[in-house]
Amino acid sequence: MKRLTSGDPDLDRVLGGGFPRNANVIVMGGPGSGKTVLAEQMVFANAGDRPALYLTTLSEPLAKIVNYLQEFAFADLGRIGNEIVYESLAEVLSEDADALLAHLTGLIQQYRPGVIVIDSFKAVGELFPDARAWRVLVFELARLLSAYDTLGLWIGEYSPESVTALPEFAVADGIVSLQRHQRGTRDERLLKVIKLRGSDFLGGEHVFEITANGLRTFPRLVAPAAPSAYDPVAERVQTGIGGLDSMIESGWLRGTTSLIAGPSGAGKTMVGLHFLRQGVIDGEPGLLVNFQESPIQLERSIRSLGWDPESLLGPDRLDLLYRAPVELQIDTIVREMYRRFENNGVRRLVIDALGDLEKSALDPRRFTEYLYVLTQEVARRGITTLLILKASPAHDATGSDRLGRDASNMSDNVVLLTMDLGQELIRSIRIVKTRGSSHVGRRQALRLSTEGVFVGERL
């Protein structure tokens, strides 16, 4: 099947390779959801051997659409009038259906477009009080576009209820829904393919952004395909913490995920930093995904341990992915993590902390699904991972709440850090779970100093 690009490679992935060329697709959504941006982006991405035809109706005036178009990097205004033609249907809409169809036929015969956009298609339908006449017009238009091997994009501010109520949805070959939701102080945009005849596509909701380059889609995560054969590697990874490796034979098994849980001040972040620094020493690039400590604060922590930030930090050594908690969006964070996995050859990963990442998800169930997919993906890539979880001192962190239970179940190893807040502060560490490995289960002292983190005597 021949396809046309949407102008966004990741959206093309969602669509199974792009829009089928000889199809009529409804792009629906509320005001400001990004419908027109998607249509214009697609027009500029496909116009060339065959021009693209953009028809406005009774929504935004043609001059305003072209004016706003200049804000996007994909818009080469020199192509307008030749490869890309803008026309208004406002005048002919005052006539009957036959006149409108004849006018559209004339435009298509004149320009032979590869893509034709009608914006807003819904506004045209509202001018036809006769439902039968509108259904006939929609059918004839679909047949006309198919005859000329043209992709039609029908744009409209349709509501979800319209999908089962209006005839254009039955006639259309594809339906793409764009939504915009207010999440606290920020907007969240979601894209969903409802229908795409003759084509496989990635279902579910996908986050997207509107940038200066147009739409940028973040396809939802799916679990990696199970390998036909699995040959586990029994290689051990050193933790970088004195005394800890001997508690887990000689280190974590490569590609495993470990949950490090404990209250504030117990040493969770320090454990993660030592683990990543040991990776740099061993020639294993690491990635720290951090939502609390800014790069300046992180550098201060590194210097307090007597380490040199200049020799430690860098994409090929210890890379930092920092996002402020108020700006988190789980799809963008995870996709950026995947990108750095590929580009930097990441072998060690620390996420600090899971609670912050969970808040960036739309709902707890969605976060649990993402966490499962992530743990499967790092295992497939052989990336040894530490997940840091802040837990109440009064609980063991693995059963005190849903997040703790889910993270514990998905992790290969679980390590609990505790604090005795008596007259003297005593920190301790205890390994309560390891898969495929034996471990020392007793509680040991955990020492934090300017010289680093060490596991001491039994408590």
Q: Is the pLDDT of residue 346 over 90?
A: yes
Residue 327 pLDDT exceeds 80: no
Is the pLDDT at 415 greater than 50? The verdict is: yes
pLDDT in the model for residue 152: 94
User: Higher confidence at residue 402 or residue 32?
Assistant: 32
The most confident of the ranges 8-22, 293-307, 439-453 is: 8-22
Residue 130 scores a pLDDT above 60: yes
**Does residue 353 have a cis peptide bond before it, meaning omega lies within 30 degrees of 0?**
yes
- Give dist(CA 31, CA 51) in Å, integer: 28
Omega before 120 within 30 of 0, i.e. cis: yes
Model pLDDT for residues 269-279, shown as the tens digit of each residue: 999 999 999 99
Residue 246, classed as helix, strand or coil, is: helix
Nearby residues of 444 by Cβ (< 8 Å), 6 or more positions away: 243, 247, 428, 429, 430, 455, 456, 457, 458, 459
The predicted structure's pLDDT at residue 178: 96
pTM > 0.85? no
Cβ neighbours, 10 Å, residue 73: 10
Identify the pLDDT of residue 181. 81
Summarize pLDDT for 378-412 with one digit per residue, the tens: 999 999 999 999 886 544 555 556 778 888 889 99
Parallel, antiparallel or unpaired: strands 205-211 and 186-196: antiparallel
| Confidence tier at 228 by pLDDT (50, 70, 90) | very low
Inter-residue contact 138 to 121 (CB < 8 Å): no
For 155-166, write each residue's pLDDT tens digit.
999 988 999 889
Picking from 174-178, 343-347, 435-439, which range would have the lowest pLDDT averaged per residue? Answer: 435-439
Give dist(CA 289, CA 325) in Å, integer.
12
Contact assessment for residue 262 and residue 391, using Cβ atoms and an 8 Å cutoff:
yes
Please check whether residue 106 is in contact with residue 74, taking contact to mean a CB–CB distance below 8 angstroms.
no
**% of the chain exceeding 70 in pLDDT:** 93
Q: Are 15 and 196 in contact (CB under 8 A)?
A: yes
- Across the chain, what does the average pLDDT equal? 87
* pLDDT at 188 (0 to 100): 83
For residue 53, the model assigns a pLDDT of: 93
pLDDT digits (tens, 9 = 90+) for 44-73: 999 888 999 999 887 666 677 777 888 898
Task: Give the per-residue pLDDT at 394.
Answer: 46
* Confidence check: pLDDT of 91 > 90: no
The span from the CA of 318 to the CA of 337, in Å, is: 13
Q: Kindly state the average pLDDT of the residues 30-51.
A: 91
Residue 265 has pLDDT above 80, yes or no: yes
Q: Give the per-residue pLDDT at 329.
A: 79
HSE-up (13 A, CA, CB side) for residue 81 = 2
Q: How confident is the model at residue 309 (pLDDT cuts 50, 70, 90)?
A: very high
pLDDT band at 198, cuts 50/70/90? confident
**412 is written with which tokens?**
């290969």
Q: Shortest CA distance to 214 belongs to which of 446, 350, 360, 36? A: 36
Asked if the model's pLDDT at residue 321 lies above 50, the reply is yes
Residue 328 has pLDDT above 90, yes or no: no
What the block records as the tokens of 205 is 């909701």
pLDDT at 257: 96
pLDDT at 251 over 60: yes
Distances (CA, A) of 106 to 29, 328, 420: 30, 50, 82
According to the model, what pLDDT value does residue 362 have? Answer: 67
**Close Cβ partners of 155 (under 8 Å, ≥ 6 residues apart):** 26, 27, 35, 36, 39, 117, 118, 119, 120, 121, 122
Determine the distance from the C-alpha atom of residue 21 to the mean position of all C-alpha atoms in its chain, rounded to a whole number: 27
Give pLDDT, residue 68: 80
Confidence category of residue 3, pLDDT binned at 50, 70, 90: very high
